[in-house]
Amino acid sequence: MPSTSATDLFTPANLINGTWSFEGDGTFNTVLDKYHGTELARIPHATEAQMEEAIAAAYGSRDGLRRMSAGERSAKLNALADIIERDQDELAKLVVHEGGKPIGYAKGEIARCISTVRTAASEALRFAGEVVPIDHDAGKGKTAFTKRFPIGVIGAITPFNFPLNLVLHKVAPAMALGCPVVLKPAPQAPLSASALGRMLEEIGWPKGAFSVMLCGIPVAEKLVKDDRIAMLSFTGSDKVGWHLKAICGKKKVALELGGNASVIIDEGTDLAAAAKTVAMGANLYAGQTCISTQRIYVVGNAFNTFKEHLVKEYNALKTGDPSDPAVAVGPIIDKGHFERISAWVDEAVKAGAEVLAGGKAVDAARNVYAATLMTDTDPDMKVNCAEVFGPVAVIEAVKDFSSAIAKVNNSDFGLQAGVYTNNFAHVKQAHEELEVGGVIINNVPGFRVDSMPYGGIKDSGLGREGLKYAMEEMSEPRLIVY
């Protein structure tokens, strides 16, 4: 039977070695409804001893997971997908409550979760090594091939903005391979991860092979530094990610970090249609995604017309209660981020930037900020060079397509970029010259299908996610020659 409400899905405790613990270090993490400000849960912060128990249990579960056949792991994943599908409506509501995500987008996240897990179930059956052609020189007459083996325990740290799907982008490929996971979810939105713990109990995933816990920084650093953790998989800010890489020791690291994603609008494209997509791509979920459109570069004569279309689309966006299906721009995740976004916009205006839309709070009590479009910005303004992670974008004119590429590349980040063009030579040029992990043609940089390789270069990260690609990160090839 499906759960009767979103609050039935999670347990306000830490799951440690198969047991829900309501005790910790005496301090608690309070989770609030991001629009109404009401308390959803209080979860204890785990102690170092509890983190030790979780790591030890995960380390001890490795052999049991390795002995599970690929078919068994695939069946467990499909069972998990069935549960997510069963409870999808209430899971979407939970994402709205804890993350402030608009309900339409939250439903989209849960649909993606189902696809993520089912794809992992399929990859568990077909993931393989490769035949190595060595039948020449000293290898004459010999056969060689690789088989991939699970790397071991995965330490996973996840952000608030996709509180279930980004967790599953770490947990599902680990399950497909047979890697145990110790997960620290985002303190702002940990309840979907708790719900996942309940789901894994329901499908009978081995005790100790998955723990989920909230903790302070010293306890979290134990997860990062412990030698029994074979790989750290982190999604979050670039500052934190590179710090964790510096202290994690010899273990393998995958970092999915931030960006100030760009879109290029070329001459000769459908400017009205592009403006609709770009406006949503810059402001959906109040811009709180790593690949939210932040920098818009418009080529040549297209600038004025596109700017008019875009301002019109901005003014049509609805802000407010994320439970309202018509709302695109809901609350910022917390007061600190809300105040930072407001300060960055004000700072840019004082330095000469022009506000074309928004530029102010809509509901400061609920941390709702207007969809904001600016122009005449300098490259060193924070709204341009840093990651806003809010409903703020800049639009600037460039003389030609090559200049647009140079503007996109003038960044410390390189996650994804969008390119609107009908010129195939420009499509090829964008693929060859844009310094990003992914080039999205005739769409915004926020486009993502969960099976595709996803990740960035420069300060945007290290390694790739996307089920098969994450499994490659979480496994090691072993060669045999005979």
Tell me the HSE value of 143 on the side-chain side, using a 13 A CA sphere. 3
- What length is written for the chain? 482
202 is catalytic: no
Read off the tokens for 159: 């952000």
Q: Which of 213, 254, 194, 283 is nearest to 58 (CA)?
A: 213
256 is catalytic: yes
Q: Which of 113, 179, 248, 290 is catalytic?
A: 290
How far apart, in Å, do the first and last CA atoms of the chain sit?
A: 54
Cβ partners under 8 Å of residue 239, min gap 6: none
Q: Which of 90, 98, 256, 472 is catalytic?
A: 256
Read off the tokens for 222: 């134990």
Active centre residues (catalytic): 256, 290
